[in-house]
Structure 1
Amino acid sequence: MDSSFYHVLAFVIPCLVLFLSRKSRAKRRLSLPPGPPGWPLVGNLFQPFSSGKSFFEYIDHLCGRYGPIFTLRMGARTLIIVSDAKLCHEAFIEKSALFASRPRENPTRNIFSCNKFTVNSAVYGPVWRSLRRNMVQNMLSSSKLKEFRTLRKHAMDRLIDRLKAEADANDGVVSVLKNARFAVFCILLAMCFGVEMDEETVVKTDEVMKSILITLLPRIHDFLPILSPFFYKQRRRALQVRKEQIEHMVPLIENRRAALLNPGSDRSAMPFSYLDTLFDLKVEGRKSPPSNSELVTLCSEFLNAGTDTTATAIEWGVAQLIENPEIQTKLFDEIQSTVGDRKVEEADLEKLTYLQAFVKELLRKHPPTYFSLAHAAIEEEAKLGGYDIPTDANLETFIPRISDDPRIWNEPDKFDPDRFYLGREEADITGVKAVKMIPFGVGRRICPALGMAMVHVPLMFAKMVQEFEWSAYPVNTKVDFSGKFEFTIVMKNTLKATIKPRVSG
């Protein structure tokens, strides 16, 4: 190992001892949930990597050992992991205001969030209320979403054409995630900036968004801030990515501003966009509307939050259709009996009850991420399950232990849309009555784009199943349902599928 590493440790260890000992003295009076003993100085930070398990396997193992709520000390951060439906209901429904804030962010995230000026990252308070109210009421309400039906139709036609072209060029083989991601990103770009963009702009903007996500992946100095001076190259890279993001997106913002000031000047411009709601947005406690850098941040949040989550759901869903051809047949038969030989439309979705059950089971079995966005308590005296929850702790929800809980679900390991279609089991995905599955989070900080996702996902499946029969590639192979973390939980082996056009009539 490089000798400079030991020089760093020689400087860092005494500082860490002083810092962590002060922190531990301050917390001795708290009754935290149990957890694994930590190592000196760094707590449990390196134990997941030394366990021989993936991080999610390690968390699952600790759930079995310590129960539905436990503590991990990850360097300077305290993580409290919740994996029980009743505790989630207590925290995010019964005590929703108490645990409605967000923990502090690392400095890199602050660069991109403009110091937590986004719906997802803002602390519980006036800024969050203003941003969320604007997004939900002026963009994501059911009435506003309907205004983008034509846009979604164009994107679905574009998706089918891309799949056909790729299949024709590759003996019927297509990449699922790549095409799904492109389709949903086209929709969100147009919704955000008010214009359907050419492929070159779509691809370039997507590259910018991906570079941001890569930059935001956790680093060791996020958990040991005292090491930050030794990671100046990473900070410099983050600032460069932020500069590239602003340089790419500000012209898109200014183009929209010009189109609004000169109606009719851009014939491709749509009458409404998310950006329109932000230009003169009044935020509680602020005198001026968002700056250009803040507009970049808010637009990026809108794009990132809905792209990978939807595309990931499509990939897992197609994998299940391939592995369970009887389910695919049921979906196709329902579409045929409901709409006949015409093209399925968005207005048909509410009549496709087996499709809705399929999507619900998909979100139960394959939530886009295994952890909801971290919550934080807003009061020092916060308690959960009888334990103290410090205001500086990350309150994390480990979703698989809930959606696969045999006390809640019958045969939870089985992918079975009939559990919902036949009414044998039920679950409100908002979790208001009871928490059973929480793919969009729950409570006051539930994902504001839930309604949009529940249009995009079933619409894409309806189109893809009506147009094509999906089967394994290579032929007669079993699908590998192993997953990995890549912003969302994606398939470990990126799914390729063989498609065959349906014969109409």
Structure 2
Amino acid sequence: MAQSSVTEAGANTAEAFWKSIAWGMSLESATVGVLVVTLVILYFLSLARERKDLPPGPLPWPVVGNLVDLASGGLPHIFLTKLASKYGGLMYLRLGSKPCIVISSAAAAKEMFRKSNEANFSSKNKGLFIEIISDNYRTLAHSPYGPHWRQLRRFVTSELFSPKRHASYQNAREDELRNMMRVLSEDCAKGDALKNLKSWFRELNANLMTKMLFNKSGDACREERMELEQSFEAILTTSMKSAVGDYIPSLRFITKLQGVDRAFKDLRDLWIQIGGKFMELEERRTSRADDHKQFQPDFVDLILAEPLDNGKPMSDTTLALQIMEFLFAGTDTGATVSEWAVAEVIGNPQVLKQAREELDAVVGGDRLMQESDIPNLPFLEAIVKEAFRLHPPVAVTLNRLAVEPAEAWGYTIPAGSQLTVNMYAIHRDPEVYENPDEFNPQRFIDRPEVNHLSGFDSYELIPFGLGRRMCPGANLGNTMVSLMLGNLIHSFDWSLPNEQSLESFRRDNKEERFGVMSTRKEPLVLVARPRDNVASC
């Protein structure tokens, strides 16, 4: 009897013990649950206060903000366009700790870059890649808006891109075009008519840029030009590497652990090396000193002598990176748009037929199309505009900065905001363009007043950027795309390789490669044959 009582008492004690443990655990769980709910409520209350006067946008995650959404969304310009269809043409994201305003409609672009805001938005966003590749923000594309940038911009515009300079290089443009048309004709004569057009466009543009910058023919820089093309592929991939420390400063160590900063520095060193080969600085300094009477300065000589960096000439390092910046912008962007343009025309036989009829009527059959023909070729001009609309070289720019707080449509734009201009979305704005995904040059025949070379007026078509930071070489780029496209349509018949069907070609033509530029996923390869009774060189 006593033994039974002891056993029963022990069981009761054990039961009480486990009940107390279970009660304690449930109390702890309840406490944790209440704490989590409280923190979530506080986070969303804080978020609501923070976003009170900001444009609409998706809710950010704690710490990382909307970086997770962007990282998992595929091609950035397409993902941001889908978001804009829900949140509107002016959208707010938070990238880590950095506020970001995404501009995705023509009306939003016009509002954001109105006169009272434009100067405030003329500086560039900073980041590790830009810092390294621009020699600490010293080159034209990446300098902060201010005295250094204005002086450099004036000099470059005057010596490279002014109307007078543009006219002075007309013979050089037509000579280089004639040479490359001859190369294409000779390939056809040898039966080697399968052409990678991106490479052809790049070579032609690179030849012209070497003439403008160094007064050298393409043959004189063949080795450097091959290295230049290889470096283009490097920058298209390296620049897309994520430097998470740009957005979450406390995680800068991850950038180093991933080797991202080393990759950026390797690309910078490659650019300095190639730029140095092109410029031959020691040789030109020696020849200038030895024979100053016979010395004929080119652009590099002029910029070497100009006090553009706090009253001093550019350092050799900055100059090499600046020259490579010009070569990249003047070569690859035009080649990218031209490749897309040819693909769109080949995929639309009626457009090809109409363009060729116009060219035959204006140019005839005994010569190449020339720059003087362009004003008389409105349908070709409409094709070029439509190509720039559907395929701007840089579909989404991440590099504008709001230096001071601003206001747009009643919303607050915080100081320090990154301004992202989604040209892909703006150029497909359904409020402006009917059937915006369709390649239809007729839309610009009906609206010839749309000026894609302005940067201040036609906000619905801005392939060269906006405001005072728009590309200074816009006129040159447009001229080269028009010349290359017009002559290829006029002088050659084009067909698809390997008996590919037109439907299959059109389907493939929509595929893009992930990168800083909107390039085709696969290079455009076509079969060329000179047209009968039409000059091809």
Bin of the TM-score, shorter chain as denominator length:
0.7 to 0.9
Per the alignment, in what secondary structure is the counterpart of residue 123 of structure 1? coil
Q: Which runs of 5+ in 2 are unaligned?
A: 1-42
Per the alignment, in what secondary structure is the counterpart of residue 486 of structure 1? coil
Give a deviation string over 1:199-236, Cα, whole Å, max 9, x none.
22210233234434433223142433433334333323
Cross-structure match for 1:17: none
Cα offset for 1:317?
A: 0.8
Per the alignment, in what secondary structure is the counterpart of residue 344 of structure 2? helix
Cross-structure match for 1:205: 228
Q: Distance in 1 between matches of 2:60 and 2:520?
A: 32
Cross-structure match for 1:320: 344
Question: 5 Å matches for 1:160-239?
Answer: 160-167=181-188, 172-196=193-217, 197-221=220-244, 222-232=246-256, 233-239=259-265
Cross-structure match for 1:376: 401
Give a deviation string over 1:219-266, Cα, whole Å, max 9, x none.
142433433334333323333332333233224321444455556999
Q: Does 1:503 align with 2:532?
A: yes
Cross-structure match for 1:487: 516
8 Å Cα contact 2:188/2:530 also seen in 1: no
Per the alignment, in what secondary structure is the counterpart of residue 335 of structure 2? helix
Cα offset for 1:279?
A: 1.0
8 Å Cα contact 2:402/2:414 also seen in 1: yes
Per the alignment, in what secondary structure is the counterpart of residue 488 of structure 1? coil
8 Å Cα contact 1:431/1:442 also seen in 2: yes
Per the alignment, in what secondary structure is the counterpart of residue 121 of structure 2? coil
Q: Does 1:85 align with 2:106?
A: yes
Per the alignment, in what secondary structure is the counterpart of residue 513 of structure 2? strand
Cross-structure match for 1:240: 266
8 Å Cα contact 2:89/2:107 also seen in 1: no
Q: Distance in 2 between matches of 1:85 and 1:368?
A: 18
Question: 5 Å matches for 1:329-340?
Answer: 329-340=353-364
Q: Distance in 2 between matches of 1:156 and 1:384?
A: 46
Cross-structure match for 2:432: 408
One-letter amino acid matched to 1:37:
L
Cα offset for 1:117?
A: 1.1
Give a deviation string over 1:129-163, Cα, whole Å, max 9, x none.
01111111221012102222232223213322343
For 1:345, which of 364, 370, 374 is the aligned residue?
370
Cross-structure match for 2:40: none
Question: 5 Å matches for 1:58-69?
Answer: 58-69=79-90
8 Å Cα contact 1:116/1:123 also seen in 2: yes
Per the alignment, in what secondary structure is the counterpart of residue 198 of structure 1? helix
Cα offset for 1:190?
A: 2.4
Cross-structure match for 2:383: 358
8 Å Cα contact 2:209/2:327 also seen in 1: yes
One-letter amino acid matched to 1:47:
D
Cross-structure match for 2:137: 116
One-letter amino acid matched to 2:532:
V
Cα offset for 1:434?
A: 4.2
Q: Distance in 1 between matches of 2:301 and 2:261?
A: 32
Distance 1:264 1:330, change over 3 A: farther
Q: Distance in 1 between matches of 2:513 and 2:263?
A: 25
Q: Which runs of 5+ in 1 are unaligned?
A: 1-20
Question: 5 Å matches for 1:31-46?
Answer: 31-46=53-68
Question: 5 Å matches for 1:413-428?
Answer: 413-421=437-445, 423-424=446-447, 426-428=449-451
Q: Distance in 2 between matches of 1:494 and 1:247?
A: 27
Q: Distance in 2 between matches of 1:442 and 1:462?
A: 27
Q: How many residues align?
A: 475
Per the alignment, in what secondary structure is the counterpart of residue 470 of structure 1? strand
Q: Distance in 1 between matches of 2:114 and 2:146?
A: 18
Per the alignment, in what secondary structure is the counterpart of residue 38 of structure 1? coil
Q: Distance in 2 between matches of 1:324 and 1:188?
A: 32
Q: Distance in 1 between matches of 2:455 and 2:188?
A: 41
Q: Distance in 1 between matches of 2:214 and 2:63?
A: 48
Cross-structure match for 1:452: 476
Cross-structure match for 1:16: none
Distance 1:42 1:243, change over 3 A: same
For 1:467, which of 485, 488, 491 is the aligned residue?
491
CA RMSD of aligned residues (A): 2.7
Cα offset for 1:311?
A: 0.6
Per the alignment, in what secondary structure is the counterpart of residue 436 of structure 2? coil
Cross-structure match for 1:57: 78
Q: Distance in 2 between matches of 1:96 and 1:243?
A: 34
Greater Cα shift, 65-74 or 476-485: 476-485
Greater Cα shift, 164-173 or 320-329: 164-173
Q: Distance in 1 between matches of 2:520 and 2:60?
A: 32
Cross-structure match for 2:179: 158
Cα offset for 1:373?
A: 5.2
Q: Distance in 2 between matches of 1:43 and 1:250?
A: 42
Give a deviation string over 1:164-210, Cα, whole Å, max 9, x none.
45556666321111211121122112212221233222102332344
Q: Kindly, what percent of the aligned residue pairs are identical? A: 29
Q: Distance in 2 between matches of 1:171 and 1:403?
A: 38
Distance 1:295 1:130, change over 3 A: same
Q: Distance in 2 between matches of 1:93 and 1:353?
A: 30
Cα offset for 1:484?
A: 2.6
Q: Distance in 2 between matches of 1:260 and 1:419?
A: 53
Greater Cα shift, 195-204 or 113-122: 195-204
Q: Distance in 2 between matches of 1:107 and 1:308?
A: 23
One-letter amino acid matched to 2:273:
E
For 1:250, which of 276, 279, 285 is the aligned residue?
276
Q: Does 1:306 align with 2:330?
A: yes
Cα offset for 1:303?
A: 1.0
Q: Distance in 1 between matches of 2:398 and 2:71?
A: 22
Distance 1:346 1:433, change over 3 A: closer
Give a deviation string over 1:434-462, Cα, whole Å, max 9, x none.
42111111111111111111211101112
Greater Cα shift, 465-474 or 290-299: 465-474
8 Å Cα contact 1:377/1:391 also seen in 2: yes
Distance 1:413 1:229, change over 3 A: closer
One-letter amino acid matched to 2:370:
E
8 Å Cα contact 2:271/2:321 also seen in 1: no
Distance 1:370 1:290, change over 3 A: same
Cα offset for 1:278?
A: 1.2
Instruction: Give the TM-score normalised by structure 2.
Output: 0.81
Cα offset for 1:418?
A: 2.3
Per the alignment, in what secondary structure is the counterpart of residue 460 of structure 2? coil
Cα offset for 1:67?
A: 1.1
Cross-structure match for 1:14: none
Distance 1:38 1:168, change over 3 A: farther
Give a deviation string over 1:315-345, Cα, whole Å, max 9, x none.
1111112112222222222222222222222
One-letter amino acid matched to 2:181:
I
